[in-house]
C-alpha cells in the first residue's frame, strides 16, 4: 500500500480531485447527521464559495451538496438542515460533533449506524473521504483508518488510538492524507484542508486571496502549539488505558479476571478498584461494550452467520451473545443486520432507524 502523511500545505490533490461531467467542477458532499457541528457542515462550503467568486465564472468551480441517508437532520444548536439523498461525489466530507468527557461514545456511534454504512459504501466506490476533527471516529467505525495514518483533535487523539489500534494516529499533524482518506485536526483545521483544496483546484493566487479576505491562516503546519496539557486526560488514567488496550486487542479470548490481574501484576481486587476509580465501570463492562462494537461492524460488513460473529467476539453461545447485543443496541443481531446493512443509495425512513 502506498501511503503518505502530509501536514497542511502538502495534501495530495490527486487523492481528492477527479474529473466531473461539468468542466472542472469538483463534486463535494457534506455528510450531515444528528447533532453534528453546523459550522463544520457549512465552513468548508462557505470558503469554497468565496474561492469560486474570486476565481471567476470561467474557472473550475465547486458543486457542494449537504447529503444524508436520513430525510431530516437537526444539527448542533437545533439547526434544521436541508439535506439531499446520498449521491455519487468526488469528495465526501464528514463533520465532527461535540465530544464531552462524560459522553458515551459507544452509544453515540451506535445511533449513527446509517451514516457509518454510507461512509463505508462511498469509500468502497472510490470516493475520497475527509473527516473534520472528531469526525475521524466515524471513519474509524467504518473501518477506513485501519492500516492508515490519521489525525484528529489533539484532545481526543488518545481515545482514537485506543479505539482504533490498527491506525497510526499522529496528533501533532493538522491534515493527514493516506490512500484516499483524509483526516484533520481540531475544529478550525477544516480551513487548513479547504485552503489546500482551493490551492490545488483553483490555483495559488485564488488560495492566497481567499486566505487574506477571510483572515484564514494558510501557513500553519502543526496543532502542537495549541495543546493545553491541563485539558488532556489526567495521567491517573494510564492504568485503565493499558487494561482497556489489552482487552480490546483480545476480544475473542475468554474473560479471565485472575489472568488479567496477573498480567498487570496486581490482585483482582486492586485491578477492579483502580479500574473503577479511573473509568467508573468494570473491565468486564468495557469488554462487553467493545465486543458489541466489533460485532456491529461484522454484522454490517460481512456475511458471517450470527454464530460466527458471536464466536469472533468471544461468545460460544449465540443466545448469550444475542441477549447482550440487544441490551446494548436495542436490536437482536439479525434485526440489526437487516436494519443497517444498506448501501449508500438506499433510502432510510424518517430518522434513519
Query: Quick check: 273 pLDDT over 70?
Result: yes
Which of these ranges, 13-17, 54-58, 261-265, has the smallest mean pLDDT? Answer: 13-17
Give the mean model confidence (pLDDT) for residues 142-168: 91
- pLDDT bin (cut points 50, 70, 90) of residue 113 is very high
pLDDT at residue number 234: 61
pLDDT at residue number 230: 64
Q: Any long-range contacts for 241-244 (C-beta under 8 Å, 24+ apart)?
A: 241/158, 241/162, 243/271, 243/275, 243/283, 243/286, 244/162, 244/279, 244/283, 244/286, 244/290
Q: Which has the higher per-residue pLDDT, 145 or 17?
A: 145
Which of these ranges, 23-27, 70-74, 288-292, 333-337, has the smallest mean pLDDT? Answer: 23-27
> Domains along the chain?
13-225 (3.40.50.880), 236-339 (1.10.10.60)
- pLDDT bin (cut points 50, 70, 90) of residue 227 is confident
Please write the tens of the pLDDT for every residue from 95-111: 999 998 777 888 899 99
Query: Quick check: 225 pLDDT over 90?
Result: no
Grid-cell match 482518506, residue found = 181
In this structure, what C-alpha cell is assigned to residue 270? 486492586
Provide DSSP, 90-153. SEEEE--B---TT--HHHHHHTTHHHHHHHHHHHHTT-EEEE-GGGHHHHHHTT-STTSEE---
Give the mean model confidence (pLDDT) for residues 291-310: 92
Query: Quick check: 17 pLDDT over 60?
Result: no
Amino acid at each position: 500500500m502506498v501511503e503518505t502523511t502530509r501536514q497542511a500545505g502538502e495534501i495530495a490533490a490527486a487523492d481528492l480531485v477527479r474529473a466531473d461531467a461539468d468542466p472542472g467542477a469538483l463534486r463535494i458532499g457534506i455528510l450531515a447527521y444528528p447533532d453534528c457541528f453546523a459550522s463544520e457542515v457549512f465552513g468548508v462550503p462557505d470558503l469554497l464559495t468565496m474561492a469560486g467568486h474570486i476565481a471567476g465564472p470561467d474557472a473550475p468551480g465547486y458543486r457542494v451538496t449537504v447529503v444524508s441517508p436520513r430525510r431530516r437532520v437537526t444539527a448542533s444548536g437545533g439547526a434544521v438542515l436541508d439535506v439531499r439523498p446520498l449521491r455519487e461525489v468526488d469528495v465526501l466530507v464528514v463533520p465532527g460533533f461535540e465530544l464531552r468527557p462524560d459522553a458515551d461514545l459507544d452509544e453515540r456511534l451506535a445511533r449513527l449506524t446509517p451514516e457509518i454504512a454510507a461512509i463505508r459504501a462511498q469509500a468502497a466506490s472510490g470516493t475520497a473521504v475527509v473527516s473534520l476533527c472528531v469526525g475521524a471516529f466515524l471513519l474509524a467505525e467504518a473501518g477506513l483508518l485501519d492500516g492508515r495514518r490519521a489525525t484528529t483533535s489533539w484532545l481526543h487523539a488518545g481515545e482514537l488510538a485506543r479505539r482504533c489500534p490498527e491506525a497510526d494516529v499522529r496528533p501533532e499533524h493538522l491534515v493527514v492524507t493516506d490512500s484516499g482518506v483524509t483526516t484533520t485536526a481540531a475544529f478550525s483545521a477544516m480551513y487548513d484542508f479547504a485552503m489546500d483544496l482551493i490551492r490545488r483546484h483553483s490555483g495559488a493566487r485564488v488560495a492566497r486571496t481567499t486566505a487574506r479576505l477571510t483572515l484564514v491562516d494558510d501557513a500553519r503546519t502543526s496543532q502542537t502549539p495549541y495543546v493545553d496539557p491541563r485539558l488532556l486526560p489526567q495521567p491517573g488514567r494510564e492504568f485503565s488505558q493499558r487494561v482497556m488496550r489489552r482487552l480490546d486487542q483480545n476480544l475473542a479470548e475468554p474473560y479471565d479476571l485472575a489472568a488479567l490481574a496477573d498480567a498487570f501484576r496486581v490482585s483482582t481486587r486492586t485491578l477492579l478498584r483502580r479500574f473503577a476509580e479511573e473509568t467508573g465501570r468494570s473491565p468486564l463492562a468495557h469488554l462487553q461494550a467493545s465486543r458489541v462494537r466489533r460485532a456491529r461492524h461484522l454484522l454490517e460488513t460481512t456475511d458471517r452467520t450470527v454464530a460466527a460473529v458471536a464466536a469472533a467476539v468471544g461468545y460460544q453461545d449465540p443466545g448469550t451473545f444475542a441477549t447482550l447485543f440487544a441490551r446494548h443496541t436495542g436490536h437482536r443481531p439479525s434485526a440489526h443486520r437487516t436494519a443497517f446493512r444498506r448501501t449508500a443509495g438506499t433510502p432510510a425512513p424518517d430518522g434513519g432507524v
